[in-house]
Amino acid sequence: MDEEGWFSVTPEEIAARQARWCAGAGVVIDAFAGVGGNAIQFAQMCHHVVAIDIDPKKVALASDNAKIYGVEDYIDFIVGDFFQLAPFLKGDVVFLSPPWGGPSYKAKESFTLDLLKPKDGHSLFQVAQAITPNIIMYLPRNVDLLQATALSWLSSPPLDVEIEENFVRGNSKGITIYFGDNIFP
Ligand code: SAH
């Protein structure tokens, strides 16, 4: 792992929980795969994963990590910009863990979606939505929840939304928002 990989990797138990939400899914697109923390868990629960990162070093590390977990055959790694690739991607679930802008996100009282990198959360969601209504976003614990859940209204009828706060040993590490079409049958 490299330095950025360390502070940005999704803790394993959280990544496992996020993957359980879509257990059995066909293709999961991990749009900001980093060193593979999420992609590896999706590969264990779903049929196939497309793991994208703009940084070739991250993709190389993610690929090594997938081998350690024995799931490399279930993941296609792509070095590229998710926003450029998105129009050509097909998948059943899109997982979004975009950069939170470095550790300074904690200092904000309310983390609004415009603070996400490299594009604001609203544009990001719309790009993902063109692929599938099943979208998982992993966001800072201080995210503006009203603003984030309102993304469901970009669809008509609005998408179902499920919010989960993720703790590791009693410390809040982030918020996962699950959006989908009829996720509560
Ligand atoms: N969930 C990952 C961590 C993601 S950190 C894990 O568990 O390991 C966010 C990642 O987004 C970084 O690795 C960064 O290189 C990548 N990134 C930034 N802009 C991107 C873009 N436009 N397209 C794809 N990846 C991008």
CA of 171 to the centre of ligand 1 (A): 23
Q: Quickly count: other Cβ atoms within 10 Å of residue 23's Cβ.
A: 10
pLDDT in tens, 41-84: 999 999 999 999 999 999 999 999 999 999 999 999 999 999 99
CA of 8 to the centre of ligand 1 (A): 8
> Whose C-alpha lies nearest to ligand 1, atom 22?
81
* pLDDT at site 101: 86
* pLDDT at site 105: 87
Asked if residue 104 lies in contact with residue 150, where contact means CB atoms within 8 angstroms, the answer is: no
Mean pLDDT confidence for 85-104: 94
In this prediction, residue 185 has a pLDDT band, given cuts at 50, 70 and 90, of very low
CA of 158 to the centre of ligand 1 (A): 28
Distance CA 19, CA 38 (A): 8
Percent of the chain scoring above 70 in pLDDT: 96
Distance CA 39, CA 93 (A): 12
* pLDDT at site 167: 97
Ligand 1 atom with the smallest distance to the CA of 81 is 23
CA of 106 to the centre of ligand 1 (A): 19
CA of 54 to the centre of ligand 1 (A): 7
User: Which residues lie with the beta carbon below 6 Å from any ligand 1 atom?
Assistant: 8-10, 32-38, 52-55, 58, 81-83, 97, 99, 118
Question: What contacts 96, CB < 8 A, 6 or more positions away?
Answer: 31, 32, 124, 125, 128, 135, 136, 137, 138
- Total residue length of the chain: 185
Please state the three-class secondary structure of 99-116 as a single string. Answer: CCCCHHHHHCCCECHHHC
pLDDT in tens, 1-42: 777 766 789 999 999 999 999 899 999 999 999 999 999 999
Q: Quickly count: other Cβ atoms within 10 Å of residue 130's Cβ.
A: 10
CA of 45 to the centre of ligand 1 (A): 21
> Whose C-alpha lies nearest to ligand 1, atom 2?
34
The SS3 call for residue 137 is strand
Ligand 1 atom with the smallest distance to the CA of 15 is 7
Average pLDDT score over the chain: 94
Q: Which residue has the higher pLDDT, 103 or 63?
A: 63
Report pTM.
Answer: 0.96
